[in-house]
């Protein structure tokens, strides 16, 4: 979990700050300087937009880069994720470029949402339709590579942009 991608760790409790800093010194002495005590007047969650991120992470609509978004619906039997271009559709030269770009952004965000929401069972994703078979295949290869990291088993239907996947949610027992 703790790796080189961490650039700062802010804490607003002096005791916890000291405890975490001591712990980081033990496990990664060169990284102890990233642990910082937040002394601002604005509450720390508000300052860094954490509450907003938490709320948006569990809502029905998930905004992504460049105006694209996901709609996530849950039923008793499955989860459905619909990928939408939003205002992105006018910015690329062709519809195929838009679909490819949005689907690549969506792939990473869907993997993130599956982990955040601990979603398991059947997951159906409706990616934006692409025109050319070559583009479709390259997109699917990228999706599979990103999703292998979260132990996702994918079963494709007759339409390559619509498939069923089985994600084994990690129980926190």
pLDDT in tens, 54-109: 777 778 998 888 889 999 999 888 889 999 988 755 555 788 788 888 888 888 88
Question: What residues does each domain of the chain span?
Answer: 10-47, 59-167
| Contacts of 15 by beta carbon, 8 Å cutoff, 6+ apart | none
Strands 69-74 and 78-84 come out as: antiparallel
Confidence band of 1 (pLDDT split at 50, 70, 90)? low
Distances in whole angstroms, Cα of residue 76 to Cα of each of 69, 113, 121, 122? 23, 18, 10, 10
Do the Cβ atoms of 10 and 36 come closer than 8 Å?
A: yes
Question: What predicted TM-score, i.e. pTM, was given to this entire model?
Answer: 0.65
pLDDT digits (tens, 9 = 90+) for 42-53: 999 989 888 877
pLDDT of 173:
44
First and final C-alpha spacing in the chain: 18
Cα Rg for the chain, rounded, in angstroms? 20
pLDDT of 149:
67
Which CATH code for domain 59-167?
3.40.630
pLDDT digits (tens, 9 = 90+) for 116-151: 887 877 788 888 876 566 666 666 677 677 776 666
């Amino acid at each position: 979990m703790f790796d080189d991608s961490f650039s700062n760790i802010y804490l607003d409790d002096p005791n916890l700050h000291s405890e975490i800093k001591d712990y980081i010194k033990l496990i990664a002495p060169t990284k102890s300087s990233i642990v910082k005590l937040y002394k601002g007047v604005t509450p720390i969650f508000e300052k860094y937009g954490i509450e907003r991120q938490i709320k948006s992470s569990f809502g029905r609509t998930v905004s992504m880069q460049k105006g694209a978004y996901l709609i996530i619906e849950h039923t008793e039997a499955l989860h459905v994720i619909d990928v939408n271009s939003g205002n992105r559709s006018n910015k690329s030269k062709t519809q195929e470029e838009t679909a490819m770009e949005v689907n690549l952004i969506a792939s990473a965000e869907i993997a993130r949402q599956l982990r955040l929401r601990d979603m398991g069972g059947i997951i159906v994703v409706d990616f934006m339709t692409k025109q050319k078979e070559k583009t479709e295949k390259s997109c699917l290869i990228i999706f599979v590579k990103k999703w292998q990291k979260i132990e996702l088993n994918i079963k494709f239907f007759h339409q390559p942009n619509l498939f069923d996947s089985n994600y084994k949610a990690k129980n926190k027992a």
